[in-house]
Amino acid sequence: MTTDYKYDTLVSIPRDELQELSNRLISRVIDESMMTELFTFDSVQAEDQDSLLEAQFDSMLRMNAIALGLLPALFENSKNEQQNVARMQRLLLWHFYAVSFKLESAVPLSTHCQCVESILKDSPKSTLEWLTSLTDLLHHYSKL
């Protein structure tokens, strides 16, 4: 049986293992040059701590949206393409929640997983759509 990365699976896998898997997946879909471009800040962005944090926040958001947008290409023409894409989307969305934005103490994992399943019912198709969905998700979390 394949790992589905839904709530029951996520709570049964050690966090460091999930982080390693999600980091490897991100490095498969986003090459090093794109990652360097995303996380290279100009002097205005690095001018003060607030500006730097804002730039880092924006880069993390874009990195996750790009990874989610490019993910389907990894599974084109594979057996169970849609199932595999959905599984890996859940893993990347866990990374977004737990690693990129460190929301574990603010938002229960069960709540995050419910939000993920809602998003995946009509999954965004492009990086821009993912960027909008992830931004909306962060806004939703800020209201909890």
- Residue matched to tokens 């701590």: 49
For all residues of the chain together, what is the average pLDDT?
A: 95
**DSSP string spanning 67-136?**
HHHHHHHHTTT-TTHHHHHHHHHHHHHHHIIIIIS--TTTS-HHHHHHHHHHHHHT---SHHHHHHHHHH
Number of domains in the chain: 1
Q: How confident is residue 1, by pLDDT bands cut at 50, 70 and 90?
A: low
Q: pTM for the whole thing? A: 0.94
Q: How confident is residue 22, by pLDDT bands cut at 50, 70 and 90?
A: very high
Q: Can you say whether the dihedral through the CA atoms of 57, 19, 10, 120 is positive or negative?
A: positive
Residue 2: inside a domain: no
Residue 1: inside a domain: no
Residue 54: inside a domain: yes
- Per-residue pLDDT, averaged over 44-51, amounts to 86
Residue 69 has pLDDT above 80, yes or no: yes
- Per-residue pLDDT, averaged over 32-50, amounts to 90
Residue 110: inside a domain: yes
**For residue 61, what pLDDT is reported?**
98
Structural domain of 45: 7-142
Residue 30 has pLDDT above 90, yes or no: yes
